[in-house]
Every structure is written in structure tokens, then in C-alpha cells.
Structure 1
Amino acid sequence: MSPFSLDQSQFETLSQLLAAGGHHDVHDMLSESLARLVTFWPAQAGALIYISPGNTIVRLEHGTLSHEARIMIEQARTSFARRDESGEPALGYYSLEGGFDLLELPLQSGNQGVGLLHLVVAETTGEKHGTSPTTSRLDGDMMILLVRSIGGEADKLARLQQAERDLRELRLLYEVGQLLTINLDLNSLLNEIRERVPEVVEATRCSIFLFDRQRNELVIDMPEQNRTLRMPADRGIAGWVAIHGVPQIVNDVEQDPRWYETISIESNFQTRSLVCVPIRVRNKTIGVMQLLNKRGNVSFDDKDVQLLSALAAQAGIAIENARLYRDLKHERDKLLNQEEHVRNSIARDLHDGPTQRLTAVMMNIEFIKKLLVAMPERVASELDTLENLVQRTITDLRTFLFELRPLGLETQGLLSTLQQYVQRWRDPSGQDIRLRLEAPASIPRLPHEVEGNVFVIIQEAVNNARKHARTPEIIIYLYIEEGHLVANVRDRGRGFDVRTIEATYNERGSLGLLSMRERAHTIGAEIRIRSEPGAGTTVELRIPLSDNQQ
């Protein structure tokens, strides 16, 4: 190696290059190293490309590069890829116009090429194109040493940065997962997802579209505008992902024909790029999660898809749990309302029937006491009247108790209990309505729980017909068909539009329908309602029978 000498400035620069540590960012370290190499040579300008172990590319320039130099540098970069090098790296010199050379040297980390360094220097002597002539400033071997130290330091720093990012992502994934598992309020949960997920993937905004299968639409809440937007499920990139279940990266939405700009306009947000993944629960897509505009004006990549997919899996379970909790709370509130409704109904029936008659009995007893003194000959007649009143009160109480819980169900079975029910039944409002039962001579016995629920469902259907149908007759049909016990309650009343009632079922809080559906579900039965305005109503209950019951 040829001897060389350094002035104080060059020595300080060299010392700084050989001790390139102390940085926390690869880009900053390489930018500073390139500037010092240009100063140290000295060179007119310099350029550097570095490919990290994770294939992140850093491109840097320092000073002003001529058009010719740019073309040669770009050609060299195009043919370069991070690779294992055989042998020792060597300086390369290429002539430029104007008395300058382009110096080229691979950045090394161990035996692996990790990038290229180019310096535009004053024209040197010696053979060109691939040889390493001695310079007046520094021997080529020293330059190789410097570049090798920079490449190795860049790799160490890149791996450290990647480890820090991975740790941060894992921590955020854990934190987001913890938040999602403890939040059972759906709206609050969606807000938390929208706020925390962009931190993990370093995006500007997160959008969540939930699938409304009944209307075949995607629904997105916009809390910042206090409104909800809907779009057809087959529109936009989000719609495509929802239907196909395949993640998508689009780094220029304007160039994608699937781009549905309406949502972007409505939300008053300028979308440049996005990554979108399906939210799936039990192999069913319930929505999509979308991240917009990667921070730092860089592109989304496969790693972002992996991260977002992991978050979407957590979010899917959390959303489903929140929905189940919401539905359970909704049904619980309905059942509590139903319980209150039943309590009020019992209180009303007791007040209107037995309570009033017992009050009349007490008044008659007081009257008879007075008759014993004033008109004893009338006492016998009044006692007969009192006896009839007491007998009617006892009959009403027995009917009331029978309808609450017929004891004969457990000993005599469903058919016998229904026969007694029809015999005892009368319309409490005094309407002239007939109740009939048409059934075979016998039906198979069912478990006590099943028979009890079937009886209550039939009773509820009869009460609904009595209250709303304006019918002269209600008929209960009981028969066996295709492995099922079928119970039909039919009336010839005014009927109704079933689809309208079903569509407003939740909003109206129909306690009778809720009770029948819940009881049918409990015993594994199927309940159907058929009706048309002016054509009466049929409530059909189908109870599956086991092989030994058929």
C-alpha cells in the first residue's frame, strides 16, 4: 500500500468515519457518512444506495450530479442486488466529461454486498474501467476499509432498528389485543380500533366497514362527523376484499379501477394509498379493515398486510363478542320487559276477576248478617247467591292457575292438557269467540320441558288471536307429519302483513313474538307465521320427534 499523508481536517473526518456509531437511524447515519466521504476525498458530489437485510432501500445524494453521472449511477444501481460477493471488492473508475471521473465501490457488510457508493472526483491517472489507480489523497485499500465499515455499521443499525420496530409492533399488538378483549361496547370498541391500529402499521387513518348481509351493503361509522355511511357491497376496493376475502395493497388509488371515490369525498379525506384486509370470524367475512396513507410517503408492503391481518383477526373476535353481548343485553331487556308485562297481566286478571268477586262475597256476608236480624226469611236465598258467587270465583282461580302452569302436563301429557284448556277457555273480555281442538286420539309423549313450552306457545298464539284477530273462531290443530309433531293455531280474522311485522320486530319489542320464538328455540323447534290482510293467521310450530317417538 502506498504511503499517504492527511491534514488535520482529513484526519478528523477519517476518525469520524471509522467511528460511525452513535446514530439511531440508518438514513441519518448513511447521509452523514456520504457527506463526510465527499468532504474527505474531496469529491464534487456523491451518491449512495443501501439495501437493508429486510430489503428496505435507502437512496442518497450529496452535492450536484451531472446528467451523465446520474445515468451511469442509475445503470449501476439497476443491475445491483444485495448478494454474496466472491473475492475482495475493488474500486472502479469511469470517465466523465469535463475532466471528472466516477468512482464506484460496493458497500460491504462482511462478505455481502449491501449497496453502492459513487463519488464524482477530479480526473485521475492510471488505467480506467475497473482498475484502482493510486490517488494523491488516499490509497484504494483505505477507501475500501472506510466503505466496509460504513456498510457493516449500516447493517447493524438496520437490524437494531428492525428489532426495535418488531418489539414495538409486538407491544402495540399486545396492548390493542388487551383493549379489544375488555371492551364489550361495540361503538366504543370500533373507536378504539380506529385510534390504535394506525399506530401499529404507521398509517394516517383506519377505516372499518361492517357487512350488512340483509341489505348487501358495507357500513362505515364516521364518529368525527357523527354519521354513518353505506355503500353497495360490490363497490370499491373494500367491497372487492369483502366479497373475495383476499387482502389488497393499492399504493395509488387513482390508478385502480375499483376505487370508489364517493366514500373519500363524503368523509372529506384525501386517500392516496391503502391496504385492505378482510375481517373474518369462523370462516365468515363480517367486514373489512382498511388503512390509508402510509406515513412518511412510503408504500404499503406485505409486512403491513401481515400486521393488519393479525389485528383484523383480533378485531373480528372482539367485534363478534361485542355484538353477541349487545344482542344478549337487548334480548335480556326484552325478557325483563316481558316479565313485567306478565306481572301486570296477572295483576290485572286477578283484579278484574277473583279480587272483585271476593270483594262482592265480603259485601254479601255483611248484608246477610244484617238480614239475620231484620229479614231472616231472605237469608237462605242470599246464601244461595253467595254460594254461586264463591263457586264462580273458585272456577276462575282454577282456570287462572291452570293457564299459568297446568299440573296435568306432567301426569296426563300435552293432548289431555289441551283438551282441558279448550273446555275451560273463555274470552275474559266477554267476546263470543269459540276455541276448538282438532287432534288424533293420541300423540307421543314428549319430555316435560318440551310439552310445557309447546303448551305456552299455543296459549300465547291463542291469546294473540283473541286480542288482535277479531275472529269468531280459533282452532288448534295437532298432528304428526314427516317426523314432527305439528301444532297449528289458526283464526279466520283480519290477518296482517308478516314481512312488515318481521321487519319491525326488534323496534316494536313484540313480547308475544319474542316469547314464542325464544321458547321454540329452547326446545329445538321451528315456528312459522303465515298471514295476509283479510285472510286470517296461522302460527305453525314443528317439534322434531326422535325415532322412538314417531
Structure 2
Amino acid sequence: MLSLEWITLITQALFLTAVPLVAGLFGKLTSDLIYLVAGWVVFTLLISVARSGGWKPKWLERVTVAVDVGVGLALIGFSDPQWSPLWWSLLVGPLRVGIATGLPNMLATTGLGIAGSAVMSVILGGGNFLVLIPVGIFGGVLILAAMIIGLPMEKVRRIARDEQWSQTPVDSENSDRELQRTHTIFSIAAELNATLNFDRVLDLSLDLCARALAETGSADNRLVSSLFLFDEGKLHIASARRLRHTDWNVSLAGKSGVVAEALDTGVPCISHDPGHDPEIRYLRALGECNVALVLSLSSTLRTFGILLLAHPDTSFFSDERVNLLEIIARQIVVALQNAKLYQELEQEKERITEIQDETRKKIARDLHDGPTQTIAAIAMTINFARRLMERDPQSAADELKKVEDEARRTTREMRHMLFTLRPLILESRGLEAALFQLAKKMYETHRQEVIVEVEPGVAVDMDIGKQGVLFYIAEEAINNARKHAEAENIWVRLSRRGDQYALEIQDDGVGFNIGAVDANYEQRGSLGMVNMRERTELVNGEMHIKSAEGDGTCITVIVPSMEESIERLHRSGFTN
């Protein structure tokens, strides 16, 4: 039988899980926002416990909805009132109202939330009513979303009500058990998403699995549990309970047995003879276990690893327990994604700082080695020519001609530097024209031959951000080839391969040892390669380098043309 309270709890759990993830993706995750979400979780849990205990005064529902709307407004206020990525959080209160009383009240509550956000935006905007423009846009989208979500929700609500009226009285023990199970799932989701520390998530995961089984009457100190993560193509133990010391050295290939089945299908898989499984049999702690459960920890684009649990009792993993552990595994994946994203954001901050410092140093070196030296030479030549004016006018004229040539060369160098810093032609005429202009300036400034081959119209519908990234990758690769490869010719090719763009930079220079450069890359030494790789990652692309000493170099960058093609690219086997 459908339970409206159960639907409400699960819906709100999904919203609470999504808030830190979305805020992190848009760089809006702050300590204040985390505290606010944690308080929201505690409040929701207290209300749920009160309801399960039979305490349901009439005013409680109104207070709960008011708190939900108030927290939604606070989330928007903390994350930029005008362009917040968390506007959708205003739908939490209306959804609760819609499930309880129907679509009209849901739309009315949504309108109240939008009105509150308008007042808040005007106050925070210092009385500037222009801030109501984005509020109106987001408000219209929220109303439309409320209608789209509310129509099927109305049908679900009616079906649930009909079933409640038509069913005979439900056994109270089963009802309490179901509610306890829901509370367990909700509290586990809240605990996992309350931390962004990756190692802490790993430790929490197994403890919460054991606690969930204990709260559903399955506590047992004979349960063996472990969490494996992929590292260099193999599964290694990241956290475990009741494993033997020697088991920590065991790694799994994930190519056969129950582990491979779970990874391939994405569903929980049980082995009733773990001692003879081709992979997990090497774990000595499983020698006394007669059944093992493997759950894949994977999302659409990423597989983190597996969750492995084993027990001596062959009937321990009932359908109910497996279903509960599967839900927990999904929450673990969400928490791992959040923690990994936060970890990568912190690393990206450090990388950006390094790149900015290196860019400043590069500009300083270029100015010192180029225009500064030339201007100093010009000043000396002018001084020498001034002294020759009276004694030898012809020699003075020759010296002034040298000054003119140096000045023209310096002008070309400065124009080239300005072009690479901000190519205006890229903004006005697109990537194709910018690449041809880059080739022309490379020849004028450095006498370097660059041949550009572009499919007609290939970049017409390409996002301007991707065009900029590909231009700077091409510019970096050309400079590397000019400075280090001693190349006579450099080819730049831009084409489209189905739903992907392909940029290729090839030279006929001396080539290099890829292994040595990759080792240097790990030590953060080759900033040119670092820049190209990280720019490629910014547009969800893949970069491949093919080179050998004495045989030139070819760098290929593949960039998806649309969001739908990202997954296909990363699964195609085209890797660095």
C-alpha cells in the first residue's frame, strides 16, 4: 500500500541530498549553508519521529511547511539571491502541501514562496526593483515546475488515498516496521551527506550499514564488511570491518565471479559459496562465511568500487535486507560524489593559483627577454646615432634604420603577445578565423610555418567557451613545438567526428619521450602540458599525445558537442 508520509519523507530526503551537491557544483557551498541544511535535517527528523509517535496537532503541518519555505528562502539568500542555483528548494514546502492536500494548495504555497523571495531580493538589493526581473523569471519557472510535478503527484495522492480507504486495517507491527525503515534510510542519508571529507565518508559507510541492519532487528557481530575502491584498474580495500590483517593486501580484478556480475549489471549479487568464488575466496575472513553480498557503487559516469558483506548464516541476506542495503549503497555513492567533488574543487583552486603565478612569470619573462631588451638596445642605438650626426651623417642614418627595424620587430612581438592574451577575432569571427590569424602572426613574428586545415563551418554551432579553450590549447601546443621541437612545419586540424569535435596539432620536430614527460607532469613540472590537460578537462574532453624521439609529435583533443555525448566519449576508450 502506498504511504503518503513515506512518499513525503523520501521526496524531502532526495531534495536534502541534492542541495549540497548542486551548491558544490556551482561553487556556492559554504559553512553557513551546510549548517542550515544540517538544521533542516534535524528538524525534519524530529517532526517525523513526532508523527510516528502519534503526535499530530492541526498546526504542526502549517509550521512544518512554513519552516520548509523559510529554509528555501535562506538557501537562496546564502547562495546569491538574484542568480542562486538553489531556487528549486522553494518547491520542498509546496510538495509537502501538494501530497497532503492537492495541486491547488501546492500552487498557492509556491506563489507565497516566490512573493517572499521577491521581498527578500528587494531588501538585500538595497531597494533596487530591477532585481525583480530575475525573480520573475525564476518564479515563472517554479510555477511551471510545480504544475509539471503536481499533476502526477495529484494522481499518486489519489491512488494512495483510495488504497488507504479500500484496504482492511493494516497490521500495526508491519506499519511500525516500515516507518522505522524509512527513518533509518533518511537518517543515514543525512549523516553521509553531512560531511565532505572523503575518508570520513568511507569510515561512516560500513558503520551505517551495520547500524541499519541492527535497527531492523538484524544485529550480528559475525557480519564481515568491506568497501573496495578502484585504483589503477584494480579494487583495493579502502575500509573494512572484521577483516584479517593479511586481507588488507588483497586486491580484486573485478573480471570474474560475483564481483564482475555486480559491476556489469549494477544490481546486488549474492554468492552462496564465497569460498569457491574466483576472486573473493582470497579473503581469509570469508572462510567461515557461507553467503556474500556484493553491491556496485556506481553512478552514470563513474564507478567508485563495490560494497562487500558476508555472513555465516545462508539466509541472512533476505530480500528486505538486500533492498535496504541497496538503498544505502546509493546514498553512499551520492556522498562519495559530493566528497570527491569537494576534494577536486580544492585541488582545482590550488592548480588555478599555480597557473596564475606561472602566467605572470611567463609574461614577465616574455617582456624581459623581448620588448624590454629591444627597447634598451633601441635607446643605446639612438644615443650612438646622435653622436654620429655631426661626424658621419651616413653612418647615423644607417643606425637610425636599425632602430626603425628594431622598433617594427618589437611592435610585432607586442601585438602577438596582446593577440594571445585576448584574441578579439575569436569573439567576433569565431575559432576558424582565430586559428588562421594565429598562424599568420606566428609566421610574422617567429617565421614559423603553421598550416591550418579546418572543415568548413565546423565551429559554427560550437559554444564560445569551448572555442576559447580549443584556441588556447592550439596556441600552447604550437608554442611548445616552436620552442622545443625544432619543427619546420606545424599542422593544426579542426574537424567534427559525429557528435564530437576533434582538434589535432602535429609537427615534424624531434619528438620526445612521453613517459618522461608524464612523470614530470605528476611532479607539476611541465606547466605547458598541465595547462593543456586541465583546459581539456574543463570542457569534459579527452587529450591524447602520440610522440617518439626523432619522429615528431601529434596531440589530439576530443571535445563532446553536447551533454549527451559526454558519457559516450568517456566510455569509448579514448584516454590519455
Query: TM-score, length-normalised on structure 1?
Result: 0.54
1:263 corresponds to: 283
2:293 corresponds to: 276
CA distance in 2 between partners of 1:334 and 1:493 (Å): 30
Of 291, 305, 330, which aligns to 1:287? Answer: 305
Instruction: Specify every segment of 5 or more residues in structure 1 that has no aligned partner in the other structure, as ranges.
Output: 1-158
Percent identity of paired positions between Structure 1 and Structure 2? 28
CA distance in 2 between partners of 1:252 and 1:484 (Å): 46
Q: Deviations over 1:491-522 (max 9, x none)?
A: 12233566886799667675444544555566
* 2:274 and 2:281 in contact (8 A); partners too: no
Task: Report the CA distance between 1:187 and its aligned residue.
Answer: 1.9
Partner-residue secondary structure (3-state), 2:289: coil
CA distance in 1 between partners of 2:240 and 2:309 (Å): 17
Counterparts in 2 of 1:194 and 1:388: CA distance versus 1, 3 Å: same
* 2:508 and 2:552 in contact (8 A); partners too: yes
2:471 corresponds to: 455
Q: Deviations over 1:165-207 (max 9, x none)?
A: 7776555433321121122222221011123321221243563
1:358 corresponds to: 375
2:485 corresponds to: 469
* 2:298 and 2:305 in contact (8 A); partners too: no
Task: Report the CA distance between 1:312 and its aligned residue.
Answer: 1.3
Partner-residue secondary structure (3-state), 2:477: helix
1:219 corresponds to: 236
Q: Deviations over 1:1-42 (max 9, x none)?
A: xxxxxxxxxxxxxxxxxxxxxxxxxxxxxxxxxxxxxxxxxx
CA distance in 1 between partners of 2:561 and 2:269 (Å): 49
2:205 corresponds to: 193
* 1:281 and 1:317 in contact (8 A); partners too: no
CA distance in 2 between partners of 1:479 and 1:248 (Å): 44
CA distance in 2 between partners of 1:470 and 1:310 (Å): 58
Q: How does 1:76-115 map to 2 (within 5 A)?
A: none
Counterparts in 2 of 1:456 and 1:393: CA distance versus 1, 3 Å: same
2:76 corresponds to: none
* 1:474 and 1:490 in contact (8 A); partners too: yes
Task: Report the CA distance between 1:392 and its aligned residue.
Answer: 3.0
Counterparts in 2 of 1:281 and 1:461: CA distance versus 1, 3 Å: same
Report the residue type matching 1:191 in the other structure.
Answer: D
Of 235, 254, 260, which aligns to 1:233? Answer: 254
Task: Report the CA distance between 1:534 and its aligned residue.
Answer: 3.3
Of 348, 360, 368, which aligns to 1:343? Answer: 360
1:436 corresponds to: 450
Counterparts in 2 of 1:273 and 1:436: CA distance versus 1, 3 Å: same
CA distance in 2 between partners of 1:160 and 1:481 (Å): 61
CA distance in 1 between partners of 2:281 and 2:502 (Å): 54
Q: Which structure has the highest helix share of the two?
A: 2
* 2:295 and 2:306 in contact (8 A); partners too: yes
Q: How does 1:51-90 map to 2 (within 5 A)?
A: none
CA distance in 1 between partners of 2:456 and 2:268 (Å): 60
Q: How does 1:314-325 map to 2 (within 5 A)?
A: 314-325=331-342
Partner-residue secondary structure (3-state), 2:321: helix
CA distance in 1 between partners of 2:459 and 2:277 (Å): 64
* 1:526 and 1:542 in contact (8 A); partners too: yes
1:424 aligns with 2:441: yes
CA distance in 2 between partners of 1:214 and 1:531 (Å): 23
Counterparts in 2 of 1:372 and 1:221: CA distance versus 1, 3 Å: same
CA distance in 2 between partners of 1:501 and 1:169 (Å): 54
Q: Which structure has the highest strand share of the two?
A: 1
Partner-residue secondary structure (3-state), 1:396: helix
2:154 corresponds to: none
Query: TM-score, length-normalised on structure 2?
Result: 0.52
Instruction: Specify every segment of 5 or more residues in structure 2 that has no aligned partner in the other structure, as ranges.
Output: 1-170, 214-218, 563-576
CA distance in 2 between partners of 1:240 and 1:187 (Å): 27
CA distance in 1 between partners of 2:337 and 2:420 (Å): 40
Q: Deviations over 1:384-438 (max 9, x none)?
A: 554444333222211211222233334555555444433432699x8xx742325
CA distance in 2 between partners of 1:373 and 1:285 (Å): 78
CA distance in 2 between partners of 1:515 and 1:455 (Å): 12
Of 296, 309, 312, which aligns to 2:326? Answer: 309
CA distance in 2 between partners of 1:299 and 1:257 (Å): 19
CA distance in 2 between partners of 1:450 and 1:359 (Å): 40
CA distance in 2 between partners of 1:271 and 1:240 (Å): 23
